[in-house]
Amino acid sequence: MMKNSIWILLLILGFLACNDDDVVFNPVTEGLEIKFEPVAGGAMMRYSLPNDRNIFAMNVRYKNWQGNDVLKVGDYGGDSLLLDGFTGTMDVVAQVSFVNHRNEESAKREYSFSTLPSAPWVFFEDLEVSSTWNGFQVIYQTPKVTTGMAHVFYLGENPLTHQPDTIPLKSFPIRQGGDTLKFEMERKMDNYTVVVRTEDFQGFRVRQEIYPDIDAFLTEQWPVTADDFNTSKLTVVKNAKAKTGVEYLFDGDLKGKERMEFFLSERNPNLGYTGHEVYGTFLAGPNAFEKPMVLDLGEQKTPAWIRLYALIPTQAKDAQGAAALGDVWLGWYDDKLPCKLSVYGNSTTGNPDADGWVYLGNLNQNPKAETESEKWSFPHINKNASGIGLPKTLAEFEDADPIYVDVLFPVEDNEYRYLKIIVHETFRSKLNSAAKPNPDNYFTLHELEVYIKKN
């Protein structure tokens, strides 16, 4: 009987020993510091691990907004962990444990932390969907921590089924700091219903909002002629030989075909600059800066933008010396193109000195700009005496794209009859090494177009 009692006692002690051994790693946790800072989509866990050489890593376990288990691992090489996987504001319980080099894990300690709404959620808090010319724009701001994707759709017709459907336009990762996305629609409609949807990087939808009745502000070109253009405040260079004057600003030649044709017909080394004198363009000066020009639209219209064209660069050298207007061009065209100008509107008078002019928009580029994104007349930078890359035939010229810049106006229903244009400054040519390029403040425009809101 005594022998059986001893065996039973040993068996009980064995079970107790096994229970104690379930936790096989008991690190020293003195000096452990853990703090949580709520951030967008989760929390930032700041930590300082105990000074215990047996600790190899720290495991942090919690459940994300969908209830899925998440494991984050920290070690002595870092001091923070991003506990993400959440959409809105939540209170979350995390379990923290330690692992040694044998992958033995300590007992778990519970901590709680709070989260802030994620970028895919708060994306809509500072989201603006508004009209632009011929479409709409999406403007958003984001928190410091950005995650997830956004998708933009509009309600249209499915090209396969010809039934109403959400048509995808753009998918993009949500950018830190925000962005402005403009959508000029190929399918013209009076207004659009826009659908914006966000999802996390696991592909789960977070939020969706619908923005109905966004006015498309459709546009059309409005015809204007030289008779509608008041240049009484500045000097317009009229030269029959060089073919310059106001009439060339509205003749429909967007690229300078007349100059190209004349150059090809007269190209001869013995002719000097004779084959390069013809421009077929508009030129104003001297001292043409800050002098207003006024366009009369003939009736009240909602202006959308004006479009300014430049000549396409060709092998024709720019006039200088004894050539017609050689003392104006001085061998350079690029430094006569505007880089800064302003446009105003008036509904009652075309008098440039009268009151009532409303600022509409401007062109504001660096006079010394040398990149395509910063300089609207960028192709002229590469023009050189060798003519590399320039059209050699009329066919090549016809294939070239026109060079222009749009000066956009506010997307509003305000109507004006008169537009006042003031040139403030021209570019400084990269190739022109003169101490003062364009010394007499001339400026040139090859063609001018006006676009208005379509009735």
What confidence tens digit (pLDDT) does each residue in 127-178 have? 999 999 999 999 999 877 788 999 999 999 988 898 999 999 999 999 988 9
Closest CA to 337 of 285, 382, 295: 285
Arithmetic mean of pLDDT, 15-40: 75
- pLDDT of 142 reads 84
Tell how strand 149-157 and strand 205-215 pair up: unpaired
Query: Of 185, 216, 247, which one is at a domain's C-terminal end?
Result: 216
Query: Of 174, 190, 216, which one is at a domain's C-terminal end?
Result: 216
Say how many residues make up the chain: 455
Q: CB pairs under 8 A, 24+ apart, for 48-51? A: 48/79, 49/74, 49/75, 49/76
Asked, for residue 334, whether it belongs to a domain, the answer is: yes
pLDDT digits over 44-90, tens only? 999 999 989 899 999 999 999 889 999 999 999 999 999 998 988 99
- Are 448 and 308 in contact by the 8 Å Cβ rule? The answer is yes
Judgement on whether residues 100 and 169 belong to the same structural domain of the protein: no
Tokens representing 121? 């959620």
Judgement on whether residues 239 and 321 belong to the same structural domain of the protein: yes
Asked, for residue 283, whether it belongs to a domain, the answer is: yes
Tokens representing 152? 């933009």
Judgement on whether residues 195 and 227 belong to the same structural domain of the protein: no
Judgement on whether residues 238 and 91 belong to the same structural domain of the protein: no
Residue 448 identity: L
Judgement on whether residues 67 and 205 belong to the same structural domain of the protein: no
Tell me the percentage of the chain whose pLDDT exceeds 70: 90
Where residue 228 sits, what CATH number does that domain have?
2.60.120.260
Judgement on whether residues 423 and 349 belong to the same structural domain of the protein: yes
Judgement on whether residues 369 and 445 belong to the same structural domain of the protein: yes
Tokens representing 287? 């001292």
Judgement on whether residues 137 and 168 belong to the same structural domain of the protein: yes
Asked, for residue 10, whether it belongs to a domain, the answer is: no
pLDDT digits over 290-329, tens only? 999 999 999 999 999 999 999 999 888 889 888 899 999 9
Interatomic CA distance for residues 48 and 46, integer angstroms: 7
Q: What is the pTM of this model?
A: 0.78
Judgement on whether residues 72 and 89 belong to the same structural domain of the protein: yes
Arithmetic mean of pLDDT, 257-269: 81
Judgement on whether residues 41 and 161 belong to the same structural domain of the protein: no
Select, from the ranges 5-9, 182-186, 262-266, the one with the highest average predicted confidence (pLDDT).
182-186
Asked, for residue 408, whether it belongs to a domain, the answer is: yes
- Are 54 and 25 in contact by the 8 Å Cβ rule? The answer is yes
- pLDDT of 327 reads 93
Burial of 125 (0-12, 13-18, 19+ CB in 10 A): exposed
Q: Give the count of beta carbons closer than 10 Å to the beta carbon of residue 109.
A: 13
Where residue 128 sits, what CATH number does that domain have?
2.60.40.10
Arithmetic mean of pLDDT, 376-380: 87
In the 3-class helix/strand/coil scheme, how is the chain assigned residue by residue? CHHHHHHHHHHHHHHHHHHHCCCCCCCCCCCCEEEEEEEECEEEEEEECCCCCCCCEEEEEEECCCCCEEEEEECCCCCEEEEECCCCCCEEEEEEEEECCCCCECCCEEEEEECECCHHHHCCCCCEEEEECCEEEEEECCCCCCCCEEEEEEEEECCCCCCEEEEEEEEEECCCCCEEEEEECCCCCCEEEEEEEEECCCCCEEEEEEEEEEECCCEEEECCCHHHEECCCCCECCECCCCECHHHHHCCCCCCHHHHHHHHHHCCHHHCCHHHCCCCEEEECCCCCCCEEEEEEEEEECEEEEEEEECCCCCCCCCCCCCCCHHHHCCCCHHHCEEEEEEEEECCCCCCCCCCCEEEEEEECCCCCCCCCCCCCHHHHHCCCCCCCCCCCHHHHHHCCCEEEEEECCCCCCCEEEEEEEEEEECCCCCCCCCCCCCCCCEEECEEEEEEECC
Asked, for residue 262, whether it belongs to a domain, the answer is: yes
Asked, for residue 13, whether it belongs to a domain, the answer is: no
Q: How many domains does the chain have?
A: 3
Asked, for residue 7, whether it belongs to a domain, the answer is: no
Judgement on whether residues 330 and 285 belong to the same structural domain of the protein: yes
205 phi and psi angles, rounded to 5 deg: -65, 135
Confidence of residue 451 (pLDDT cuts 50, 70, 90): very high
Q: What is the span of the domain harbouring residue 141?
A: 119-216
Judgement on whether residues 77 and 162 belong to the same structural domain of the protein: no
Query: Of 200, 216, 232, which one is at a domain's C-terminal end?
Result: 216
Tell me the percentage of the chain whose pLDDT exceeds 90: 71
Tokens representing 154? 């509009």
Asked, for residue 335, whether it belongs to a domain, the answer is: yes
Tally of CA atoms within 13 A in the half-sphere of 420 that contains its CB:
24
